[in-house]
Structure 1
Amino acid sequence: MMRDTDNVELSAAWDVVPDVAAAQGRYETAVKLRREFPRGKTPAEALTAVRDDAIARFKATGKWSATFAKDAAKAHSDAVAWQAEADALFSLEAIAKRTAEDLRDALSGDVLTHLGGRLAEILDAAKRAGEALGDVTSAEQAIEAGADALDAWRRLTGLLTDFRNVREAQWSVLRSVAGEDERTRLRQWRGAGHGEVQGVRLDDIPPHIADVMRSQAYSIEYLVWLARSGSASVPKSYDDLEFSVTAASEPVAYDDAGPLVDLSPRVTIERERKPLNTRREPRPFID
Structure 2
Amino acid sequence: MNLNNPELIKALDAIPTLRHAEAQLEAVTKLARGLSLVTPDEVRNAAVADMVRAVCDGAPYPKDAGERAQKAFEDAQAPYSEALAVLTAKRELEAHVKRLRIDENELALEALGESLADVLSQTRGVLPDLGSARTAEAAIAAGDKAAAAWRTLTALVARLRDVRAAQNDLLFSPRDSTNDHLHDDRRRTVKRLHDEGIGEVAGFRADNVPAEFLAVMQSRRYTVPYLVWLATIGTAHVPLTWEEIEEEAAMREAETAHDDNGPLVDLSPIVVPIPAAPEAKTYSHSRPAQLDYSAPAPPPIKPNAKPGDPAPLTYTY
TM-score interval, normalised by the smaller of the two chains: 0.7 to 0.9
Residue 267 of structure 1 is matched in structure 2 by none
Residue 128 of structure 2 is matched in structure 1 by 131
TM-score normalised by the chain length of structure 1: 0.78
Query: What is the alpha-carbon distance in structure 1 between the residues aligned to residue 37 and residue 71 of structure 2?
Result: 14
Query: What is the alpha-carbon distance in structure 1 between the residues aligned to residue 90 and residue 219 of structure 2?
Result: 38
Q: Which moved more, 1:110-119 or 1:38-47?
A: 38-47
Residue 273 of structure 1 is matched in structure 2 by none
117 and 44 in structure 1: CA distance in 2 versus 1, 3 angstrom threshold = same
Q: Confirm or deny that 1:203 pairs with 2:207.
A: yes
174 and 181 in structure 1: CA distance in 2 versus 1, 3 angstrom threshold = same
Residue 239 of structure 1 is matched in structure 2 by 243
Residue 49 of structure 2 is matched in structure 1 by 52
Query: What is the alpha-carbon distance in structure 1 between the residues aligned to residue 253 and residue 207 of structure 2?
Result: 8
226 and 176 in structure 1: CA distance in 2 versus 1, 3 angstrom threshold = same
Query: What is the alpha-carbon distance in structure 1 between the residues aligned to residue 39 and residue 258 of structure 2?
Result: 77
* Conserved? CA contact 2:198–2:204, under 8 Å: no
205 and 56 in structure 1: CA distance in 2 versus 1, 3 angstrom threshold = same
Q: Confirm or deny that 1:221 pairs with 2:218.
A: no
Residue 100 of structure 1 is matched in structure 2 by 97
Judging by fraction of residues, say which structure has more helix. Answer: 1
* Conserved? CA contact 2:196–2:217, under 8 Å: yes
Query: What is the alpha-carbon distance in structure 2 between the residues aligned to residue 45 and residue 198 of structure 1?
Result: 63
Cα displacement string for residues 134-170 of structure 1 (whole angstroms, at most 9, x for unaligned residues)? 2333333333333222222222222112111111111
* Conserved? CA contact 2:190–2:245, under 8 Å: no
Superposed CA RMSD in Å reads 2.7
* Conserved? CA contact 2:157–2:223, under 8 Å: yes
Cα displacement string for residues 165-191 of structure 1 (whole angstroms, at most 9, x for unaligned residues)? 111111222114892012211221123
189 and 224 in structure 1: CA distance in 2 versus 1, 3 angstrom threshold = same
Q: Confirm or deny that 1:33 pairs with 2:31.
A: yes
Q: Which moved more, 1:246-255 or 1:202-211?
A: 246-255
141 and 32 in structure 1: CA distance in 2 versus 1, 3 angstrom threshold = farther
249 and 227 in structure 1: CA distance in 2 versus 1, 3 angstrom threshold = farther
* Conserved? CA contact 2:190–2:246, under 8 Å: no
* Conserved? CA contact 2:116–2:237, under 8 Å: yes
Letter in 1 for 2:9: S
* Conserved? CA contact 1:201–1:247, under 8 Å: no
Query: What is the alpha-carbon distance in structure 1 between the residues aligned to residue 65 and residue 144 of structure 2?
Result: 83
Give the secondary structure class of the aligned counterpart of 1:250. Answer: helix
Residue 6 of structure 2 is matched in structure 1 by 8
Query: What is the alpha-carbon distance in structure 2 between the residues aligned to residue 185 and residue 253 of structure 1?
Result: 20
Query: What is the alpha-carbon distance in structure 2 between the residues aligned to residue 98 and residue 14 of structure 1?
Result: 16
Residue 272 of structure 1 is matched in structure 2 by none
Letter in 2 for 1:8: P
Q: Confirm or deny that 1:113 pairs with 2:117.
A: no
Query: What is the alpha-carbon distance in structure 2 between the residues aligned to residue 111 and residue 56 of structure 1?
Result: 61
Letter in 2 for 1:112: L
Deviation at 1:100, TM superposition (A): 2.2
Deviation at 1:119, TM superposition (A): 0.6
Letter in 2 for 1:165: D
Cα displacement string for residues 178-206 of structure 1 (whole angstroms, at most 9, x for unaligned residues)? 92012211221123111100024221111
Residue 161 of structure 2 is matched in structure 1 by 164
